[in-house]
Amino acid sequence: MILAVVSVQLSAQDLAHYKKIVKELSSAKYQGRGYAEDGANKAGKWIAKEFAKVGVDEVTCQPFTLNINTFPGKMDVRVDGKKLTPGVDFTLREFNPGLKGEFKLYYVDMENFDAEKMYADLATPEYQGAFVVCDFMFSMKHGKAFRKLSSKKDCSNAGMVYTWEEPLKFYKAYGEVVREKPIIWVKPDFPKNAKTIKVDMENEFLKDYECFNVIAKVEGNRHDSCYVFTAHYDHLGKLGKKTYYPGAHDNASGTASIITFAAHYAKNKPEFDMYFIAFSGEDANLRGSDWYVEHPVVPLSQTKFLFNLDMIADNNPKQYCEFNDVAMDGFALFEKINAEKGYFEALDRHKLDENSDHWPFAKKNVPVVFFMNEKGDAYKYYHTVLDTYKNHISTNYEPTFKLIEEFIKKY
């Protein structure tokens, strides 16, 4: 009975520590952990201190640089004089240039679509230099026709307004360049017959911006092989002066998890060395993990298994996972453990994809598993301003922790 009480108390303490980290990293202090106002680097410095605080043997910061477009300045959009709220009523493509002015709106006839007629209309004095309004999925369906609108050489429109499902999402993956014309994503209730759009949007392109990965080590009894835990701590940053993306689920949850794993193994000496890598640059097209695999602190060949945790604490009873071919014996063991312990209804294995920081390692034939919790109640807030600590769900933190801990004992 005493042992059971101690076990419950330790587990509860892990959950409390986990929640504390998620709350800290998703706070306004770090402005969405992006690159504007040094948000990601401020978070990285805090993470390094937190690793040291839990008693790891070594903490290092591995610098690298990237080019990235940011939006820390003016972000004012008005339609027929009505002001829209950044992150709620509209968002931008990550490669947008800055733009200021008032422009006419041209609505695409989606029922009787004729690309040549659209181009001809946009060449008339009435609509020359207008913003084109269309449904985003319709534009994707007619991609070739709409790609022409993005070039100043091919078409004189000022930009595009695309209606999209809400809550509206924001991305950074293609922010390493600035393109010629802006794309504004708006909610489906965008006016169907508005006349003008007035914009005052500022961008700041950061060239050779220095970021860093935070690497913690817990020494085991053996040093010939190691386990590696990874999670990205960067997020989307800001959309204007006042709007930021908290990123509680994505990916303060994964970062908090690997810190609590580090705390656990710092108190319980493992058989093999353990590395815990908090990556920056994931939302900027995996730049941090790409850099690391070319400059590893321990030979990649020594990695017994890598666990990449990204958005892991939602309440979907099925655990989304990806494995590469060299990790399939690990998948079999995970399934066996889960069948015995019942941590999840099932392990929902998907095709390996380049969707998070496990990918650069997988390409180097390091055995990897990617755990993510999709289709839960918090997942709908992914890449939106609503991914807050309040909307964060911690249900699957402990089952994921226990599943991995049990795996390491038996692998």
Domain end point (choices 166, 201, 236): 201
Q: Is 173 helix (H, G, I), strand (E, B) or coil?
A: coil
Domain end point (choices 201, 231, 252): 201
At 49, list the tokens: 């201190």
CATH code for the domain in which residue 384 is found: 3.40.630.10
Shared-domain flag, residues 164 and 131: yes
> How many degrees, rounded to 5, is the angle at CA 400 between CA 408 and CA 308?
75
State how many domains the chain has.
2
Shared-domain flag, residues 29 and 79: no
Whether the CB-CB separation of 226 and 304 falls below 8 Å is answered with yes
Shared-domain flag, residues 169 and 257: no
Shared-domain flag, residues 255 and 395: yes
Shared-domain flag, residues 243 and 371: yes
DSSP for residue 95: T
Shared-domain flag, residues 249 and 140: no
pLDDT tens-place values along the chain, 411 residues long: 333 333 434 444 589 999 999 999 999 999 999 998 999 999 999 999 999 999 999 999 999 999 999 999 999 999 999 999 999 999 999 999 999 999 999 999 999 999 999 999 999 999 999 999 999 999 999 999 999 999 999 999 999 999 999 999 999 999 999 999 999 999 999 999 999 999 999 999 999 999 999 999 999 999 999 999 999 999 999 999 999 999 999 999 999 999 999 999 999 999 999 999 999 999 999 999 999 999 999 999 999 999 999 999 999 999 999 999 999 999 999 999 999 999 999 999 999 999 999 999 999 999 999 999 988 999 999 999 999 999 999 999 999 999 999 999 999
Shared-domain flag, residues 190 and 251: no
At 379, list the tokens: 């997942």
Shared-domain flag, residues 190 and 291: no
Domain end point (choices 201, 218, 247): 201
Do the domain assignments include residue 364? Answer: yes
Domain assignment of residue 163, given as a range? 75-201
Shared-domain flag, residues 121 and 136: yes
Shared-domain flag, residues 82 and 108: yes
Shared-domain flag, residues 335 and 279: yes
Q: Is 196 helix (H, G, I), strand (E, B) or coil?
A: strand
